[in-house]
């Protein structure tokens, strides 16, 4: 059955098929290749440029020319690779001679970008230059006054920055761009997911989804007071990882190993006095091995935790409401946090459920 428009597409692939060999505006007749966009379809950060240039038009990929090289450097400067973000443009076909896209061209192409944003569902959008900033922020303010600020649109953080090409012509803009990317990093890091559960059973259910979203090598660092539900969460994780049998609190054992479809290493650091004792329980080797590690009372030794881990802080808001704050500290844990939070949302789980 043919889809009616971008709204009828179910995912990015269908959207690309729907756009097809596009001649909805005159740019379709002058461009070599349509540049749909590329990167992680579930990226937390999406970057939106203006329109393909000569190199992009030939390659069918966004930002592969000189501005793209600078963009890669700016991303690397904040610890990100191109494959971890999604890059798209306002207009998908090259305007001849790299002229500015016309309003009618932008309006024709915009529904495709809007749908891309919906599918990728990024927490943070960086708008590169005036055209993308004006579209996403629905403003006509100059990019000079917009940059350096963070806006909220449809529940996402939007950070406008200069277009990288601007720094190729005016090198003084490079340090401004670097500042803006540092701000972008802060926005991404600040952007925590939260999962709200109710009683221990609901926390257990959230744990099942966490276990299902986890992959060998993932490390989940849990903190929260006595009775917050850390063990209930890990018991749910165990179920999600295919562990059979009872999963007790490891308070007296410090570490319990549970075989399952994926092995679960369940630590409880409450009784440890000094970080040196972690060596005695093979803490560091275990975290790097083939299972998923859940560490209760991880906040006792924060400097001993691996660089890429998912911090989960459980706050008991009241008797029937617990707020789990997720903070991913690297690409692996970002994927895990995203997968878990998405699964939780898809399950329609709500407070007190």
SS3 for 197? Answer: strand
CB 221, min distance to ligand URA, A = 38
Of 47, 49, 27, which is closest to residue 93 (Cα–Cα)? 27
Residue 62 lies near ligand URA (rule: CB under 6 A): yes
Q: 85 or 243, CB closer to ligand URA? A: 85
Q: Report the residue from 51, 106, 220, 305 that binds ligand URA according to the rule CB under 6 A.
A: 51
Residue 56 lies near ligand URA (rule: CB under 6 A): yes
Residue 39 lies near ligand URA (rule: CB under 6 A): no
Tell me how far apart the alpha carbons of residues 331 and 217 are, in angstroms, rounded to a whole number.
Answer: 13
Q: Report the residue from 6, 39, 49, 207 that binds ligand URA according to the rule CB under 6 A.
A: 49
Q: 102 or 199, CB closer to ligand URA? A: 102
SS (H, E, C) 290-312: CCEEEEECHHHCHHHCCCCCEEE
Q: Report the residue from 25, 27, 36, 50 that binds ligand URA according to the rule CB under 6 A.
A: 50
What residues numbered 66-105 form the site for ligand URA, per CB under 6 A?
Answer: 67, 89
Q: Report the residue from 53, 101, 160, 229 that binds ligand URA according to the rule CB under 6 A.
A: 53
CB 66, min distance to ligand URA, A = 9
Tell me how far apart the alpha carbons of residues 213 and 270 are, in angstroms, rounded to a whole number.
Answer: 26
**Residue number of the CB atom closest to ligand URA:** 49
Q: 162 or 340, CB closer to ligand URA? A: 162
Residue 57 lies near ligand URA (rule: CB under 6 A): no
Q: Report the residue from 34, 39, 63, 109 that binds ligand URA according to the rule CB under 6 A.
A: 63
CB 83, min distance to ligand URA, A = 16
Where does this chain touch ligand URA (CB under 6 A) — which range of 52-60, 78-86, 277-285, 308-316? 52-60
Place of tokens 């959008």: 125
Strands (DSSP E) contained in the chain are 38-39, 45-49, 86-89, 124-128, 151-153, 156-161, 193-197, 219-223, 255-258, 264-268, 292-296, 310-318, 321-328
Residue 311 lies near ligand URA (rule: CB under 6 A): no
CB 39, min distance to ligand URA, A = 12
- The pair of structure tokens assigned to 176 is 């401004």
Strand-pairing partners, residue 253, are none
How far CA 231 is from CA of 67, 121, 296, 325, in Å, comes to 49, 31, 8, 16
Cβ atoms 79, 157 nearer than 8 A? no
CB 151, min distance to ligand URA, A = 20
Tell me how far apart the alpha carbons of residues 322 and 123 are, in angstroms, rounded to a whole number.
Answer: 23
Tell me how far apart the alpha carbons of residues 132 and 161 are, in angstroms, rounded to a whole number.
Answer: 10
Positions in the binding site for ligand URA (CB under 6 A): 49-53, 56, 62-63, 67, 89, 165
């Amino acid at each position: 059955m043919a889809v009616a428009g971008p709204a009828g597409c179910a995912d990015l692939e269908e959207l690309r098929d729907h756009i097809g060999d596009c001649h909805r505006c005159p740019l379709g007749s002058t461009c070599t290749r349509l540049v749909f966009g590329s990167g992680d379809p579930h990226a937390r950060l999406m970057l939106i440029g203006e329109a393909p240039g000569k190199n992009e038009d030939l390659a069918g990929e966004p930002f592969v020319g000189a501005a793209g090289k600078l963009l890669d450097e700016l991303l690397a400067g904040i610890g990100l690779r191109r494959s971890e973000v999604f890059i798209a443009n306002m207009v998908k076909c090259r305007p001849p001679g790299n002229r500015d896209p016309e309003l009618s061209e932008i309006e024709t192409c915009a529904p495709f970008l809007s749908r891309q944003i919906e599918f990728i569902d990024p927490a943070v959008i960086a708008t590169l230059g005036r055209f993308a900033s004006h579209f996403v922020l629905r403003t006509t303010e100059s990019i000079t006054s917009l940059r350096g600020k963070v806006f909220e649109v449809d529940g996402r953080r939007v950070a406008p920055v200069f277009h990288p090409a601007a720094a190729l012509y005016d090198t003084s803009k490079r340090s401004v761009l670097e500042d803006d990317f540092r701000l972008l990093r802060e926005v991404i890091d600040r952007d925590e997911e939260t999962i709200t559960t109710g009683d221990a059973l609901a926390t257990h259910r959230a744990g099942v989804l966490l276990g299902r979203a986890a992959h060998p090598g993932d490390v989940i660092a849990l903190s929260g007071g006595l009775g917050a539900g850390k063990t209930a969460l890990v018991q749910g994780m165990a179920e999600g990882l295919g562990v059979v049998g009872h999963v007790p609190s490891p308070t007296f054992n410090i570490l319990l190993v549970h075989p399952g479809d994926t092995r679960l290493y369940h630590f409880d650091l409450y009784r440890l006095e000094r970080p040196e004792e972690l060596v005695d329980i093979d803490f560091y080797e275990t975290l790097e091995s083939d299972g998923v590690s859940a560490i209760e009372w991880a906040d006792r030794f924060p400097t001993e935790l691996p660089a890429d881990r998912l911090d989960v802080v459980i706050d008991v808001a009241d008797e029937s409401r617990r707020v789990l704050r997720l903070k991913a500290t690297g690409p692996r844990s970002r994927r895990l946090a995203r997968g878990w939070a998405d699964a939780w949302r898809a399950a329609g789980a709500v407070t007190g459920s």
